[in-house]
Amino acid sequence: MSKSIGKAALLALSITPFFALASHWTYEGEGAPEHWSQLSDEYKTCQQGMNQSPINIDTTVNAHLQPLDIHYGKGPDFVLNNGHTIQATVDPKASDSITVDGQIYVLQQFHFHAPSENTIHGKHSAMEMHLVHKNAAGEVAVVAVMFDVGAANPELDKLWSVMPEKAESDAAVKAPLDINKLIPTDRTYWRFSGSLTTPPCSEGVAWLVMKHPLTLSEAQLEKFTHTMHHHNNRPTQPVHGRVVVE
């Protein structure tokens, strides 16, 4: 479903502090999403691409997909504020992974957007988590989990309690975090081909959006948005005839 993406995209996947400093894209003003393609030749796909993410999930095709096959064990060691998002860094050697089409995709990191980037029938969720995976060929698969405001999420608290308030800073995760508890019990999902939602917007990314949301409290959402200082979601992009299967 996906094709190999380039070196620039893999650099974007790591979303290191260096990358955050080296780029001047943002979510507001002159560096906002509608201007990303003008900021660098490497970002042209953000405007020219025909399979961009996020999208509005509306019309779907029933392909009888099997529930997502997840193998998560060790949690993250560090949490990073890179100025664009809050990202939990996972050791790839720990082999936290998913299996898609018989291929193993190893978890690299997961991060958050508020409000959600993908929408369901035109509606945003309060927050969306992206778990970014890569297989041996360098192909990327992203698992997206929606969060609605409701009961507090204990696993998020383990990240939020050490969340760096200053951009380009990180902190050690002190309490053991079970990534499995950040995935809905019902592992049914929508699937489509898309892109990274941040520059360079490289395409060929397999998207798996979980159908069932989790919850976070109003206070947890407020802490995230206060730390980010602004919304950090890219607007939904044209579907251009792509099929969303479930």
Which residues are tagged catalytic?
84
Distance of CA 135 to the CA centre of its chain: 16
Residue 237: Cβ within 10 Å count: 21
Q: Parallel, antiparallel, or unpaired for β 189-195 and 203-210?
A: antiparallel
CA angle 20, 72, 236 (to 5 degrees): 45
* Alpha-helical regions (H) of the chain: 7-14, 17-22, 36-39, 45-48, 154-160, 218-228
CB half-sphere exposure, 115, CA atoms < 13 A: 12
Q: Parallel, antiparallel, or unpaired for β 119-120 and 56-57?
A: parallel
How far, CA to CA in Å, does 185 sit from each of 45, 111, 180, 188, 189? 36, 20, 9, 9, 12
